[in-house]
Amino acid sequence: MTTQQLIDQIKIKKSFLAVGLDVDLNKIPKHLLELEDPIFEFNKAIIDATHDLTVSYKPNTAFYEAYGIKGWMSLQKTINYINTTYPDIFTIADAKRGDIGNTSSMYAKAFFEDLNFDSVTVAPYMGKDSVEPFLAFENKHTIMLALTSNQGAFDFQTLNVDGSRVEVKELYKQVLETSKTWKKSENLMYVVGATKAEYFTEIRKIVPDSFLLVPGVGAQGGSLSEVCKYGMNDNVGLLINSSRGIIYASNGTDFAEKAREEALKMQQEMEALMSLKFKKV
């Protein structure tokens, strides 16, 4: 999917929601456990109930790997189902990969070719040659961790570095700036946690046009309106992730219906924030 196609979908659906498919067998409705592939059946029901309210689904690979081969089969069935049934959806493999060059190429092959995701999340620690192999894929997107939503973000990401030799800045800003110099950097998006809304102004100075994938709204305490106030650009430029708040809205037989209700609330809030923004412009 091209960036323009993603922007078009956001405008059509009046939504910039990315539903996280982080399926834990201990949390899904008990009646699904009797089926042959409970993870896929859960995902399929959630997807069918919410596809018109969201522009993206984001399975986190950890939740599939934890169930071994069966988990990977559920992941493969899920991405195939989305790609064939709802091809307008922007798919994100939340995998946070990164390795030396030839190894990153294998990861890129795994997610972009074998599984056919539109995008994958990557970690920046190993630098340019660990990320560029992902960027080489046409119409695929690489979403790099910048400032994450967890407490541990303050361990290293916000330390001041003197990388620029001109001014001291925080590591995540250096990560943003340096990555802009990489080959095919137009295929980059960034993860920025909603729990740190006050940072969005500074981030937008460095990457005004890039899409930001924003976890941390809801359960983790981030505010959607604050994120939009400081982070939204003329193409919206945001994908707001919600996982638990939507997919675990109920653990009864009405789980898909309740998930839709929660997704609808978010879509409506997003529609209001978009109309507020674009009235002003």
Nearest to 145 by CA among 189, 197, 194: 189
Type of residue found at 84: T
State the minimum distance, in angstroms, from the CB of residue 257 to its own copies: 26
Q: Which is nearer to its own copies, 41 or 132 (CB)?
A: 132
Q: Are strands 169-170 and 160-161 parallel, antiparallel or unpaired?
A: antiparallel
Q: Which is nearer to its own copies, 220 or 235 (CB)?
A: 220
- Distance (Å, rounded) from C-alpha 268 to C-alpha 15? 8
Name the catalytic one among 70, 96, 128, 277. 96
Question: DSSP letters along 212-259, please?
Answer: EEE--BSTT-B-HHHHHHHH-BTTB-EEEEESHHHHTS-SSTTHHHHH
Which residues contact its own copies (rule: CB under 8 A)? Answer: 22, 24, 60, 62-63, 65-69, 71-73, 76, 94, 96-101, 103-104, 106-107, 109-111, 114-115, 123-131, 145, 148-157, 159-163, 168, 171, 174-175, 178, 215
Tokens of 252: 């009864």
Question: 């798919």: which residue's tokens?
Answer: 91
Tokens of 115: 């599984």
Whether 217 and 226 have beta carbons less than 8 Å apart is answered as: no
Secondary element (H or E) of residue 202: helix 200-206
Whether 217 and 240 have beta carbons less than 8 Å apart is answered as: yes
Q: Which is nearer to its own copies, 170 or 226 (CB)?
A: 170
Assess whether 96 carries a catalytic annotation: yes
- Distance (Å, rounded) from C-alpha 263 to C-alpha 273? 15
State the minimum distance, in angstroms, from the CB of residue 101 to its own copies: 7
Nearest to 261 by CA among 29, 12, 50, 21: 50
Whether 147 and 199 have beta carbons less than 8 Å apart is answered as: yes
- Distance (Å, rounded) from C-alpha 206 to C-alpha 21? 30
Q: Which is nearer to its own copies, 4 or 181 (CB)?
A: 181
Nearest to 74 by CA among 22, 34, 141, 1: 22
Hey, which residues are catalytic here? Answer: 96
